[in-house]
């Protein structure tokens, strides 16, 4: 136990231990191999998050750390005593880690759900001053102490008389709840109801119903429509659809031809070629070179082999480009128009604001509810009561849960702010001048800077966004490897990708640069990279190969 306390003291406070044995014992994990569990880093992180203490409130000696660990984490008794090889996380610690990974939007939903499920939790009104989480925790501790010392008094007012039993009863066993004769479910106002757009399947089935009143044909058509993917392509074979009835294959083919005439044209095609041909027929392009290109030479068009395609069609490049331009008016994914991708809106968790000549991280926590423990239920626990032990135990448990949530949310906010502030220190050049001044940065750098663990930093930057003077970026964006230049400096991989993108953007479209040529250009700038690295970065930028980028005139 003393060993773990020493390690916790050294790692979580960053202070030098007073005795040489302790210093050796706690020397940044490595000397503890064989004496600390393999999960030691995660275990210490759980302690750091679990104590939920501000730096100024942390114990200052190894002995105080030892006592704090035992007091705050009795659930870890088997780990403390036996140095178990298995990391054990209590539900409370799991909650802390879960909160740390949540973006602000999810955190708000989580807190609102907790307020609904826990009657002792309540949101602080906007016109009141919120108490510090530590103050709320101390108040709850005092309430529990008063509860143990309180003796029932006949002339004392029963605190339970102040309780909102109608609300509180929802959380107790049905035996405690007085039922009303009729319970009417309240529906949301009509103006809060959002209408949903028509789906592709609904759109097609409605048209099919207008074309035929034959139930059998409608049934086959429904089977066909039910096997369309989001892009509108048929995902099952004719034989598979026929076996669903079973229906004759000829009848299925006849209904399929009918479905393929519905809006949007090109839907229910079995491949890209059929999809384009259906649209060309409707546009009057049948029998033209466009049809020949799609039927016989689609692979040449897809790979940009324009000179070869021109020779096959016996026409010059200029004429071919006119036909290709006509083909570009067709929709290769006709179903996607009625199956739009749901828009994903990003709400930054942190805003970076410039104050005079410095940058400051500001948490966007205006939407995060400020919580407190309900005074009504605190009085229940602090005064004598004639209520059942079961009910009192329930309230006590809910107060403990509320106290832990308040601490956890506060610790989460503090941790995110520390990580964001550290990122600002490392990436000042990016904030001032943009992507080309982004520095190489790894999780270890920030973890060392703020005295936390890499896994904690990793959880903080997951699914979190920062609003900077250069735009909105995921916090993970600021972490990437570096590449050594010929001048002895380390260059960010993001900066290298940006340089590749600009080189390709400035190339001659008739003579695009190969990956090998880009390697030589970067070497002239002092950046030595392998051709396969250039190819990898180009693919990550979603830039096609030089042969596919080539334009012909």
Give the confidence band of 256 by pLDDT, cuts at 50, 70, 90. very high
Query: Cα separation of 447 and 458, whole Å?
Result: 9
Q: Give the model's pLDDT for residue 180.
A: 47
Question: Structural domain boundaries of the chain?
Answer: 2-89, 200-337, 482-549
pLDDT of residue 58: 54
Cα gap 375→136, rounded to integer Å? 11
pLDDT digits 0-9 by tens, 94-139: 777 888 888 888 888 999 998 888 888 888 876 555 545 445 445 5
- Give pLDDT, residue 160: 43
Mean pLDDT for 10-14 is: 48
Q: Quick check: 544 pLDDT over 70?
A: yes
d(CA 316, CA 146): 94
482-549: CATH topology is Arc Repressor Mutant, subunit A (1.10.10)
Residue 274, exposed/middle/buried by CB under 10 A (0-12, 13-18, 19+)? middle
Write the pLDDT tens digit of every residue in 449-480.
998 888 889 889 988 999 999 999 999 889 87
DSSP 480: B
Question: How high is the pLDDT of residue 520?
Answer: 87
Question: What pairing do the DSSP bridges indicate for beta strands 465-468 and 371-373?
Answer: unpaired
Query: Each residue of 347-380: b (16+ CB within 10 Å) or e?
Result: ebbbbbeeeeeebebebebeeebbbbbbebbbbb
Tens of pLDDT, residues 431-444: 998 887 888 888 88
Identify how many contiguous H helices and E strands the chain contains and give both numbers. Answer: 27, 8
More confident position, 5 or 275: 275
**pLDDT(349) > 50:** yes
The pLDDT of residue 77: 45
Per the CB < 8 A criterion, the answer to whether 419 and 461 are in contact is yes
Q: Is the pLDDT of residue 352 over 90?
A: yes
Q: Quickly count: other Cβ atoms within 10 Å of residue 143's Cβ.
A: 20
Q: Is 484 helix (H, G, I), strand (E, B) or coil?
A: strand
Asked which of 118-127, 220-229, 287-296, 395-404 is least confident by mean pLDDT, the reply is 118-127
Q: Please say if the pLDDT value at position 79 is more than 70.
A: no
Considering only residues 8 and 544, tell me which one the structure prediction assigns the higher pLDDT: 544
The average pLDDT across 19-29 equals 41
Stretch 293-306: mean pLDDT, rounded?
85
> Looking at the predicted structure, is the pLDDT value of residue 250 above 80?
yes
Highest mean pLDDT among 125-134, 182-191, 193-202, 249-258: 249-258
């Amino acid at each position: 136990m003393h060993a773990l306390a020493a390690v916790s003291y050294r790692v979580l406070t960053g202070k030098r231990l007073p005795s040489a044995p302790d210093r050796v014992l706690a020397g940044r994990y490595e000397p503890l191999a064989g004496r600390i569990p393999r999960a030691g880093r995660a275990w210490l992180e759980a302690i750091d998050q679990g104590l939920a203490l501000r730096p100024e409130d942390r114990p200052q000696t190894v002995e105080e750390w030892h006592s704090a660990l035992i007091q705050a984490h009795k659930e870890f008794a088997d780990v403390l005593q036996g140095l178990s090889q298995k990391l054990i996380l209590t539900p409370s610690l799991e909650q802390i880690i879960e909160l740390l990974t949540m973006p602000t939007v999810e955190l708000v939903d989580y807190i609102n759900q907790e307020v609904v499920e826990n009657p002792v939790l309540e949101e602080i009104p906007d016109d009141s001053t919120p108490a510090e989480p530590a103050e709320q925790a101390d108040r709850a501790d005092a309430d529990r102490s008063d509860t143990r010392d309180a003796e029932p008094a006949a002339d004392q007012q029963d605190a339970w008389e102040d309780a909102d039993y109608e609300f509180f009863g929802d959380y107790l066993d049905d035996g405690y709840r007085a039922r009303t004769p009729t319970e009417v479910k309240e529906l949301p106002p009509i103006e809060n109801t959002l209408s949903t757009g028509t789906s592709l399947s609904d759109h097609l089935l409605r048209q099919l119903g207008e074309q035929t009143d034959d139930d059998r044909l409608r049934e086959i058509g429904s089977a066909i429509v039910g096997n369309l993917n989001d892009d509108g392509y048929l995902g099952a074979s004719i034989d598979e659809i026929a076996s669903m009835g079973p229906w004759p294959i000829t009848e299925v083919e006849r209904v399929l031809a009918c479905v393929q005439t519905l809006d949007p044209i090109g839907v229910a095609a079995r491949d890209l070629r059929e999809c384009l041909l259906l649209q060309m027929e409707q546009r009057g392009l049948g029998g033209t070179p466009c049809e020949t290109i799609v039927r016989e030479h689609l692979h040449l068009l897809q790979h940009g082999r324009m000179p070869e395609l021109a020779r096959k069609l016996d026409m010059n490049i200029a004429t071919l480009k006119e036909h290709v331009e006509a083909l570009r008016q067709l929709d290769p994914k006709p179903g996607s128009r009625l199956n739009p991708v749901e828009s994903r809106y990003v709400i930054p968790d942190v805003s970076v604001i410039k104050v005079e000549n410095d940058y400051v991280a500001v948490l966007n926590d205006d939407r995060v509810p400020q919580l407190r423990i309900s005074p009504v239920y605190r009085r229940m626990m602090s005064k004598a009561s004639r209520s059942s032990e079961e009910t009192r135990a329930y309230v006590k448990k809910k107060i403990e849960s509320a106290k832990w949530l308040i601490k956890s949310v506060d610790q989460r906010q503090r941790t995110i702010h520390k990580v964001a502030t550290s990122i600002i220190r490392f990436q000042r050049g990016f904030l001032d001048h943009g992507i080309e001044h982004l520095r190489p940065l790894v999780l270890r750098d920030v973890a060392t800077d703020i005295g936390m663990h890499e896994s904690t930093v990793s959880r903080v930057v997951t699914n979190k966004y920062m609003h900077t003077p250069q735009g909105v970026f995921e916090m993970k964006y600021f972490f990437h490897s570096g590449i050594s230049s010929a001048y002895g400096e380390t260059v960010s991989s993001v900066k290298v990708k940006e340089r590749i993108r600009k080189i390709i953007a400035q190339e001659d479209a008739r003579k695009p640069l190969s990956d090998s040529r880009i390697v030589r250009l970067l070497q002239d700038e002092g950046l030595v990279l392998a051709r396969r690295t250039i190819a990898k970065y180009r693919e990550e930028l979603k830039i096609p190969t030089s042969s596919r980028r080539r334009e012909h005139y």
